[in-house]
Each structure stands twice: as structure tokens, then as C-alpha cells.
Structure 1
Amino acid sequence: MIASMIMLTAGLSLNAHLPPLIPWQGKSEQLMQTKGPLTTYFELSEGADSPDYQQTMAFVERLVAANPTQFKAVDIGFSRSGRAIKMLIASEQSQFSASMLKNNNKPTLLIQAGIHAGEIDGKDAAFMMLRDIALGKRRDLLSKVNILFIPILNVDGHERRSRYNRINQRGPVEMGFRTNANNLNLNRDYTKLDTPEVSAVLKVIEQYAPQLYLDVHVTDGADYQYDITYGFTPEFASESPAIARVLESKIKPMIDGQLSEHGHIPGPLVFAMDKRDFKKGIAGWVAGPRFSNGWGDLAGVPTILVENHSLKPYKQRVLGTYVLYDGLISALSEHHRELEEAIAYEQSQVPKQLVVKRNYAEKPDFITFKGVAYKHFDSAISGQKEAKYLGKALDYEALPIFWQKDIALKVDVPEYFYIPPAYPHIIENLKIHGIEVQKIGGQLKNNAKLKQALVEQHDFAKQPFEGRFRVDASFRLVAVDDVDLAGWYKVPTQQARGELATHLLHPQAPDSFFSWGEFNTIFQRTEYVENYALEPFARSMLKENPAMALEFDRKIREDKTFASDPKARMEWLYAQTPYYDNAYLKYPILMSFKEQ
């Protein structure tokens, strides 16, 4: 408390501990207004602060009141604390329904701000842009695109406001918290769907089918010259490479050009390999489907992740975000036909095999990079060498970049997944993901092509991650017979989101429902055996089955640990009896594969 009071009353700002800044001025400063109708909270604070939830919702209402023929606000869901998650729909001619937007010959852009509520640049930038549309200054924007705008996704985290939520971020003065009221990170929830916030977003995407999804964040990590960094799954790692090509060759150049023209420095979406020694290189990250951009790549939904540079002033970041919106809208308007063709193509393609896990390459590529000079010093606090950024530009001609190019795990894509009716929440989540699920009726029996995954080894996480105890396992596939599939659900992989369905339902995928712990009950046994009953039964069983008796004798001879462990011996014998739990360690979702 005393320390906080000292900081608040000091002449220096709360940013005194952060590295020195490279001075900045940009043409985008002309976008701000200081008075007049619909001046934003951000502008009234001279680019220093952001409004709270109530003020934000009030401004949404003011925008709609100022231009009801082009703006409409809707609730897309509610947080666990009961706060409404608002979305503003902006369309040129009162075309607010999903069907109208899909048929007005313009692409739809979904802008999402505040998934991490402390990273709120996207909200204030969009408010300025929408104000300019409402007042007629930027009437051209709605002639190019329809806009869906979620000002705050993490509404509960947004209200956990403090000056002390992000130690490595310059502004706003008060910012929200990273996680929601249940301490869950929304941008780790795109597969398991534990949060109403992310479920609401996926329902919007399914309903409105936007041509592009923009998720606005702020970085952690190292210092460099770029103020606006963004990216998408690169073509070499993409499951939607046709989309990646359009984003890289058509959309990105127009965004970069607009940012550069307005005094900003656009940069790649990368992270330092070693935050204390930037020269060791940067990480070319490829997102998995738990993240918005990784989910979008698998779902065939063009998705761009913005990561504004946390060490740049809030005003600079927000203005750069406005400029990014402007460039993206022009690019989307000009190239949406090519993007739509790429979407249609990718959603019609499902490979025979799917990469579900990648590792960083051992050997780097090299890129030019606009860094910031730093020096090392011996820290008496940490007891090791630390880095101190010096606020001076340092350009790297050949900085190593380690992309996640190495394929760690690839799985065969089934023709169908079969889900028992005992898992209705899995069915519901698949539907939220936009995945087609078919109910099986009648007395349909399976054939020998059905396979089941049996767990051979497994390991539970030692601590929870995102509220779940994740599980890692190895499997072998076996044929299953005589399963009555009546009342089950069938999920074909030959569908628009078949690749996503495979990542969710194949137990070996790192972001599958299995890996997130949805099927942990298969690791427990609830019927027991007593040796007074098992011992005579086993003796009789071995007498009647010579092959089993030989196998039992072999294990005793060759495995001394097994031979000296009465519990292990009886456990092995129990597993051979018809009394043994036939669901133990068996993944309940079945699979069928096309004959090769």
C-alpha cells in the first residue's frame, strides 16, 4: 500500500520502470478530435485512458442513436457474472440481419477487441472509426464492407480494472485483467469451449459467416521498433494454404502500406526465443486451434491476430490500430472475391493425413528485423545477467528466426467419427464449432471397419491448465465388433470443417476434447474383485485355456518384478476374465477409415 502511494504521488508516471522510448510522430495523430459530437473517452483523455464497461456500453448506445440507419447493437451472450457481451453491426442500408449481410454483395469484417481485457487498443480505435462513419467523415468505409464489432469480449476481466495489471505495458492508465471471472484465458478456449464468451463468438461466426476475423491483442516480451505487429498462419504450416496466400499477397501489402504512410512501423507476429538476449533469434510461432487464429486456420475462416507492441504509448498503438482497420477494409473490399474463392476451396478439401503437432526447427531461417539496442548487466536482484533496452534503433540484417517447421505428429483422418449418446455436451460443442453432426437411427450395426483407440500409456498433468487437468496418452487402434450404433451420432470429416472436427475428436491431437480431459472417466474402474473369488476362478480359467496359461508362465519367468508382485499377477489374471471392465482405458468415440 505504501509503495503504491509513493508511485502514484511521484512526478514520474507508472511507466518509469519501462525502457526509454524512441520519439514518435505520425500522420495518424490527425485522426483524433478533442471536441465535438461523439468525442471518445480515449480522445478526451488525450490518448491516455480507456472507458470502463458502463461508459463503453453508453458510447455504443450513443453511436446507434447518432446513426440508427447504419448501426445496430445486439447482445451476443452474457458472461458468468451476467454482463452483456455487446456487438455493434454497421451496414450501409439498415441491413442488420445475417441473411441481409450475406447477400448485399459486400464482405463482412468481424473485429474483436478485449479478449484479453487489459489489451484494449482495438476498442478505442474502432470507436474513433465508427464515430467518423456516424458523422459522415468516413462514409466510404461502409460502402466497402459490413462491420461486426465486439468492443469487449472479456467483459468481466475488463472490470477487474487497475493501474497495476500489466507491468510491461504503456497504458491505458487503468486496464482490465487478462482472464475472465473464472480465471480462464479466453484465447485458450477455442476448442474446449468452457467460456460463454468464446462460445458467443463462434456462434456469431457461424451465423454471419464473416469473410475475415480480426482479433486485436497487445504483446508481451521484447522491445523492437515495430508498433503494430500482426500475422496469420503461414502458408507452409497452414491447413488453409489458399487463404494464407491471399492474406500474404493481397491483404498484408495494403495494410502495411497504409500503416507506413501514416507514420507507423508494421511488423511480423513473432516472439523472442530468449527475452534476455534478442540476438539469439525469434520464434516463428504457429498457433494451435485453442487460439483464435489457429482455430480460424482449421475452420477455413480467414483470421488475423494483431499484437500491438506493449512498450509503445497507448495513443500510438490505438491510432495505429485505426489505420490498420482502414487498410484492412480497403484490402478486403478489393480482394474479397479472391478470398471467398480461397475459403470455398479450402472448405472443400480435407486431407488423408493431418499434422496435429509441430516443433521448432533446429536450424533457423534469417530475416531483416527492426530491433532496439540493448546491453547486458549483472543483476544483484536476479543473480544473473539481465537485458536493458536503450531506446535506440538497431537494425538486424540477418536475425535468426526459428519457425515451427518440424512435424512432430501426423494422424490419419477418419472417414467418420461415431459418438455415443452419453456425451451430449460434446455434440453441443461440435455444433457451436459449426461442425455437421448426424443422428443415427434404427438398429444400425457396425462392421469390422470400425476402430477404437485403446490407451497404452497415459500421463496426467501435475497441475491444472485453464481449469483442466490435461492428459497425454499413447494409443493403439483395434477393430471393434457388434456395437449397436442406434442413437449414436456420426461426424463425417468430408465437410467444410472436417479438419477442425479431426483436431477435436482424434484423441492424439493436442487440442482434442480427450487431451483437455473430457474423457477422464475412462481412467477409473468402479467394479472390484476379491482374491478369494478370483483365485479359484483364475485357476479354472488357466486350466481350460492352455495358451493363457503359457502366457502367464512366460511373464513369471521373464519379468521378475511381475513374478514377485502378487497384486500385479492377480491384476493380469483379472484382466483376462469376462468380469473385467470392458470400457476401461478405451476411448469411447469410434472411428472408421476408408479402405486404401
Structure 2
Amino acid sequence: MKKFYLFVFSFFFYLTSFAQLTPFEISKGQKTTTYSECISFYKQLDANHEEVKMLTYGLTDVGKPLNLVVLSKSKIFDPKILRQQNKAILLINNGIHPGEPEGIDASMILARDLVKSKSLPDNLIICIIPIYNIDGALNRGSFSRANQNGPEAYGFRGNAQNLDLNRDFIKTDSKNSYVFQQIFNQWNPDVFVDTHVSNGADYQYVMTLIETQKDKLNPILSQFMTQNLVPNLYEKMKKSGFEMTPYVDHIYETPDSGIVGFLETPRFATGYATLHNTIGFITETHMLKPFAQREAATASFLNIIIDEVSSKAKLIIATRKKANEQVAKQNLFPLTWVLNKDSAKMIDFKGFEGKHKPSEISNQSRLYYDEKEPFTKKIPQLNKFEPGIEVNKPLAYVLPQAWDKAIRLLKLNNVKLQQLKHDTTLNVEMYYLEDYKTSPRPYEGHYLHSNVKLKKVLTAVNFYAGDFVIFTNQTTNRYIVETLEPQATDSYFAWNFFDGILGQKEHFSAYVFEDLAADLLKKDPNLRKSLNEAILSDDKLKNGQAQLNWVYQHSPYFEKTYLRYPVARLITPTKLNLK
């Protein structure tokens, strides 16, 4: 490995002896570029090469614009024209966690060397986000990643709002996420790569890999990815000197107990990409390996993925087209996923023996990995996920215009929305929340909802001119369903978009309602019978106030919108007057 790295490093210097060098190269692998150095580098590359264009998008939370560097051999930089020309598109995202910067440096060298050597593929457009979390990159230091082996200084994980941007792809609390989604949906990449560094166990590999969870990905794309793409990535990375293993999330204390596949829900980068039928990869180099090795491994992967996507461009484009057509017609959608714990397969793993010794801090037993005792052994890998909750899509969702953030994000993600021309009463299926759990502590600025239990009610609801109708015959169906169905793991409801419905707005004065409730029970024997049955089955109703509240909740006076999820499901074909 060391010999290979020295060769790679020498090759870079030979190749770039007459070109602009990066801070990584000048420092011989000790430093990562700063934000200003990175942007200046790409500006110069843009100025010197017609095949490079650095585009500027909207502002991030720190007030600086997000950039996209596009490498196009044809010197065309319009995504619509490029799609018409049947070009495949690869999007590389760097610095979502700026303390994990090797992708930033590797992409700079990659872009320069591709254009300098005239090696850009004809059929592939390479898009690079130089640094996504600009905010964190500017918050530079040397101590925030205590377990990481270099570089000398680096950025911070949180952005200007102290958000982890790799949890922000659905809730979109940051401007960074909003602008990223503009880029993603404008360019509609076929393959997406997000570059990272892992924490956790010690082992022999420099690089581990997360690919889009195969069971969550559209079956047509999943088959292509697992059979035509992933095996080649592993084989070629091994030949390059950087043998990979799947991302190491171990079952018990050490990896030899087995590892579990990463379930990337839509809050994560590759989980978000999955909603758009984009094959995603997260490169996770190992924190304890020297920074220069980690950069070299990332560079190898990026070169290999470019070769793979270019060589299979027509097949990838055709496969995605079939997947999109299938999703537009798909009826049943999984909302949650469950790990099958009986589906382990054995894989080869190169690790270090995990041992214990007394802690010098507490004198209690502590774990350490003995790098003098490497091993290669078979370990179990659990990587089969099965649908938990599933739902049949409606013909359309009806979303009142009041819920502006949801509407803006749906539009941002290329969802086609139409509006009612006139005030209209529709017979629709509405959800009522019978139960849900809310996290006791905030997670990324939200108190997440989960374990949602629903009651479906067919009812007539008044909608108004300008309210939105979202038909589910679209290639964006997965984004539509997994955000608008409240039981989905990362639905808009889970992220508190609709919390206004959780509060009761009207109530009663007990001393007045007592007489009215008594009259209701006299006039409606079935209501009295239901109350008596409820008292027998629920100890909480032994209390007189609780009984009075029960009558109120089952009376015409109780507000129909309390705990009613605001997004309607249109089940039966209905003639609508739309604009």
C-alpha cells in the first residue's frame, strides 16, 4: 500500500509539473484546501479550459453561493440539451461534512488532470460540488475530529445553523439544502457520489463503501447496480491497491461479530437520491489512515466510477428510463423498512483483533485493536431489508395552499402540481391520527414523530380556489408518497411540517356543557350506550370530567379538524376544474 501511494503521489507531481498545484499537493498530502483556495482553483480552471464551467447557484446559510463545476467535453453546459444528446450525468458532492475533506482535494486534482490530459469522456458529464457545507468549511480548526489522522486543519461538521446537512434533505431547514436540490433536480444525475470519512472500528481497509440500499432502490435499477456496477467497483478498487469492504456498522462490539447494511432513509444524501431513481454511493475512508492515503483512495474511486458510468452510459440511461416509467405506474409503496435478521451472508473481512486492557483513565476494561494481529476471516453481513408499512397510492393528493413549505419543496423536486380553479367540495379519504410518538429530545432542530397510527375516514371536505392537486402518475411518485404519507419514516409530518393540527383550538366550559351533554345522551340512546361501553373498557373514564370530555369529542360540537391530517387522498375518479 505504501509503495502504491508513493507511486500515485509521484505520478500526480509528474502530471501537474506544468499545471496549477493544489494545497494538498504542495504540502505533500498534509493539508486540505481552504474554501477560498478551492473556489479560486476552479475559477482558474474555468478561465483556462473551455471544457470547464463553474456555475453559481443560490446563497447558503453563511451567505456565500453554492457552486457547481461542470466538465463537458462538448463544451455544452445546458442540462436539457445534454439530456437530448443522451449524455449520462455523474454528480460528485464534497464537503457535506467539511472535516472529512479528501473528496474536496481529490476532485480538484481529478478535474484538472482530466482536462489537462484531454481525457474527458464523450458520453458523460461530470458535475462537481466543490464544497457543499461552505459554512462548516469556513469554521476551520484542528481538533473537532479527535479520532482522525490529518489533515493539519479542516472544517466543522455543522453548518452556520449548526445543522448536519446529511440529515437535511427532506426537512430542508438550510438554504444549502434548498440550493442543492435545485442543482440535483436541474441536472437529474444518473449516478451520485458523496465523499466522507468514517468513524468507528479499526480494520485494514482505507476505503469502505455504502451503495444505495439494494432493497429500497427500484428493482430494475437495483438489479443493474448489484450485478453490473458494484462488483466492478470492488474488483477495480482492489487492483488499484485500495481494496474495499462494505461500510462497517458492526452488530456487537467489534466487526468480526458481523456488520449491518446501512438503511439510508430520505433524510440522507443517497436516501434522497433514491427517491429520484438515482444510484447513489457514499465513499467512507477510514479515519485512522493517513490523510494522503485517504485522498488517494478517494481519487481512485472517483476515477473508477467515471470509467464505469462512461462505459455503461447507454445502459444506465435506458435502465433509469424504465425505472421512471415503472414508478409512474406503481401502486404499492413501502413507507418503512425492517431488517431481516435471518438473512446473513458470509463475506471476507480483513480486520485487526479486538482486545481489552485496563484503562489508564478509569482502570476499567477498555477496547483496543491490536494492529500487530491482523486477520482475514469470514464474517456475517446482514443486508436484506423488507417492507414494513406499505400504502396504495391514491389517484391524487389534495394539499391546501396554506402549507407553503411543503408546496415549495414539492415544486423544487419537479413534482407537477395543479390548482383548483374554484372553491370545491370533494369526497376524499382523510387520515385521523389515533396515536403517534414524539422524540423527547430535539434531533437536528426537530422533535421527530414516529410510530404513527391512523384512522381512515371517507368524508366531504371543502377546498378552495388555489389549493393544489397532485396526481400520482408521475416519475416523482416516490418523492410524493414518501413525503406526504404521514407514516413514512421521513415524511413531512415526521419532520413537524403539519404540527398545527396537533393542537385542539376550541373547548367547552364544563358547567355549561354538562346540561347540553345530558340532553345529547337523552336524545341519542346509542351515544349513551357507547359511553357506557367505553367506561367499562377504559379505566381513565371513571373520572367525571373524562366522561364529559368523551361526550364532547363524540358530539357535533367537537372540531372536525383536530388531529385530521390536512393532505387529502382522492380515491375515486372525480372531474376537477383545474388551472
The reply to whether TM is greater than 0.5 is yes
Counterpart contact for 1:109–1:148, Cα < 8 Å: yes
| Paired position in structure 1 for 2:355 | 375
* 1:126 aligns with one of 93, 107, 110: 107
| Paired position in structure 1 for 2:381 | 401
Counterpart contact for 1:144–1:330, Cα < 8 Å: no
Amino acid at match of 1:197: N
| Paired position in structure 2 for 1:100 | 81
The percent identity for this pair of structures is 27
What secondary structure, in the 3-state scheme, does the structure 2 residue paired with 1:445 have?
strand
2:533 counterpart of 1:554 = yes
| Paired position in structure 1 for 2:517 | 538
In 2, the alpha carbon distance for the partners of 1:157 and 1:247 equals 33
What secondary structure, in the 3-state scheme, does the structure 2 residue paired with 1:140 have?
coil
Amino acid at match of 1:207: Q
Counterpart contact for 1:446–1:485, Cα < 8 Å: no
What secondary structure, in the 3-state scheme, does the structure 2 residue paired with 1:436 have?
coil
In 1, the alpha carbon distance for the partners of 2:234 and 2:520 equals 74
| Paired position in structure 1 for 2:35 | 53
2:503 counterpart of 1:521 = no
| Paired position in structure 1 for 2:446 | 468
**What whole-Å deviation, never above 9, does each CA across 1:40-89 have from its counterpart, x for those lacking one?**
1100111011121111211121211221x111112222122202222111
Counterpart contact for 1:102–1:209, Cα < 8 Å: no
How many Å apart are 1:202 and its aligned residue? 1.6
In 2, the alpha carbon distance for the partners of 1:70 and 1:561 equals 72
Amino acid at match of 1:99: K
Q: Which moved more, 1:487-496 or 1:359-368?
A: 359-368
How many Å apart are 1:23 and its aligned residue? 5.3
How many Å apart are 1:492 and its aligned residue? 2.0
| TM-score, scaled relative to structure 2 | 0.92
Counterpart contact for 1:414–1:592, Cα < 8 Å: yes
In 1, the alpha carbon distance for the partners of 2:22 and 2:524 equals 82
2:178 counterpart of 1:199 = yes
In 1, the alpha carbon distance for the partners of 2:124 and 2:305 equals 10
**What whole-Å deviation, never above 9, does each CA across 1:567-587 have from its counterpart, x for those lacking one?**
212211221332222111110
How many Å apart are 1:443 and its aligned residue? 4.5
2:537 counterpart of 1:568 = no
**What whole-Å deviation, never above 9, does each CA across 1:288-332 have from its counterpart, x for those lacking one?**
111111122221112222112222111111112222121111111
**What whole-Å deviation, never above 9, does each CA across 1:253-301 have from its counterpart, x for those lacking one?**
4433443333211222342223x32222111122111111112222111
In 2, the alpha carbon distance for the partners of 1:384 and 1:594 equals 66
* 1:303 aligns with one of 273, 280, 289: 280
* 1:456 aligns with one of 417, 434, 441: 434
Counterpart contact for 1:470–1:515, Cα < 8 Å: yes
In 2, the alpha carbon distance for the partners of 1:31 and 1:584 equals 67
| Paired position in structure 1 for 2:392 | 412
| TM-score, scaled relative to structure 1 | 0.90
Query: Compared with structure 1, are the counterparts of its residues 225 and 478 closer, same or farther at alpha carbon in structure 2 (3 Å cutoff)?
Result: same
* 1:77 aligns with one of 58, 80, 94: 58
How many Å apart are 1:517 and its aligned residue? 0.9
In 1, the alpha carbon distance for the partners of 2:235 and 2:305 equals 10
2:559 counterpart of 1:581 = yes
How many Å apart are 1:359 and its aligned residue? 2.8
| Paired position in structure 2 for 1:222 | 201
Counterpart contact for 1:74–1:87, Cα < 8 Å: yes
2:159 counterpart of 1:159 = no
What secondary structure, in the 3-state scheme, does the structure 1 residue paired with 2:556 have?
coil
What secondary structure, in the 3-state scheme, does the structure 2 residue paired with 1:267 have?
strand
| Paired position in structure 2 for 1:12 | none
Query: Compared with structure 1, are the counterparts of its residues 445 and 308 closer, same or farther at alpha carbon in structure 2 (3 Å cutoff)?
Result: same
Query: Compared with structure 1, are the counterparts of its residues 211 and 544 closer, same or farther at alpha carbon in structure 2 (3 Å cutoff)?
Result: same
What secondary structure, in the 3-state scheme, does the structure 1 residue paired with 2:382 have?
strand
In 1, the alpha carbon distance for the partners of 2:569 and 2:240 equals 54
Query: Compared with structure 1, are the counterparts of its residues 219 and 382 closer, same or farther at alpha carbon in structure 2 (3 Å cutoff)?
Result: farther
Q: Which moved more, 1:473-482 or 1:34-43?
A: 34-43
What secondary structure, in the 3-state scheme, does the structure 1 residue paired with 2:425 have?
coil
Q: Which moved more, 1:413-422 or 1:123-132?
A: 413-422
* 1:342 aligns with one of 304, 308, 319: 319
Counterpart contact for 1:53–1:158, Cα < 8 Å: yes
Q: Which moved more, 1:41-50 or 1:451-460?
A: 451-460
In 2, the alpha carbon distance for the partners of 1:272 and 1:392 equals 21
**What whole-Å deviation, never above 9, does each CA across 1:413-433 have from its counterpart, x for those lacking one?**
323211111112211111112
In 2, the alpha carbon distance for the partners of 1:241 and 1:569 equals 52
How many Å apart are 1:35 and its aligned residue? 4.8
Please show how residues 246-261 of structure 1 align to structure 2 within 5 Å: 246-261=224-239
Counterpart contact for 1:370–1:393, Cα < 8 Å: no
Query: Compared with structure 1, are the counterparts of its residues 560 and 319 closer, same or farther at alpha carbon in structure 2 (3 Å cutoff)?
Result: closer
How many Å apart are 1:231 and its aligned residue? 3.0
How many Å apart are 1:251 and its aligned residue? 2.7
What secondary structure, in the 3-state scheme, does the structure 2 residue paired with 1:483 have?
strand
In 2, the alpha carbon distance for the partners of 1:104 and 1:345 equals 18
Amino acid at match of 1:133: L
| Paired position in structure 2 for 1:13 | none
| Paired position in structure 2 for 1:141 | 120
In 2, the alpha carbon distance for the partners of 1:291 and 1:444 equals 38
| Paired position in structure 1 for 2:415 | 435
Counterpart contact for 1:101–1:208, Cα < 8 Å: no
| Paired position in structure 2 for 1:354 | 333
| Paired position in structure 1 for 2:577 | none
| Paired position in structure 1 for 2:70 | 89
* 1:277 aligns with one of 233, 254, 276: 254
In 1, the alpha carbon distance for the partners of 2:310 and 2:275 equals 24
In 2, the alpha carbon distance for the partners of 1:88 and 1:435 equals 26
**What whole-Å deviation, never above 9, does each CA across 1:436-477 have from its counterpart, x for those lacking one?**
222222344323xx2111111122211111111112221111
What secondary structure, in the 3-state scheme, does the structure 2 residue paired with 1:552 have?
helix
**What whole-Å deviation, never above 9, does each CA across 1:476-500 have from its counterpart, x for those lacking one?**
1111125346432122222111022
Q: Which moved more, 1:531-540 or 1:391-400?
A: 391-400
**What whole-Å deviation, never above 9, does each CA across 1:530-559 have from its counterpart, x for those lacking one?**
112211111221121121122223334554
**What whole-Å deviation, never above 9, does each CA across 1:341-397 have from its counterpart, x for those lacking one?**
111111112333222222333333221112223322243646754321222463443
Unaligned runs of 5+ in 1: 1-21
Query: Compared with structure 1, are the counterparts of its residues 308 and 359 closer, same or farther at alpha carbon in structure 2 (3 Å cutoff)?
Result: same
What secondary structure, in the 3-state scheme, does the structure 2 residue paired with 1:555 have?
helix
Q: Which moved more, 1:248-257 or 1:433-442?
A: 248-257
Query: Compared with structure 1, are the counterparts of its residues 429 and 503 closer, same or farther at alpha carbon in structure 2 (3 Å cutoff)?
Result: same
Counterpart contact for 1:81–1:181, Cα < 8 Å: yes
Query: Compared with structure 1, are the counterparts of its residues 233 and 37 closer, same or farther at alpha carbon in structure 2 (3 Å cutoff)?
Result: closer
In 1, the alpha carbon distance for the partners of 2:373 and 2:189 equals 39
How many Å apart are 1:234 and its aligned residue? 4.0
| Paired position in structure 2 for 1:266 | 244
In 1, the alpha carbon distance for the partners of 2:439 and 2:301 equals 40
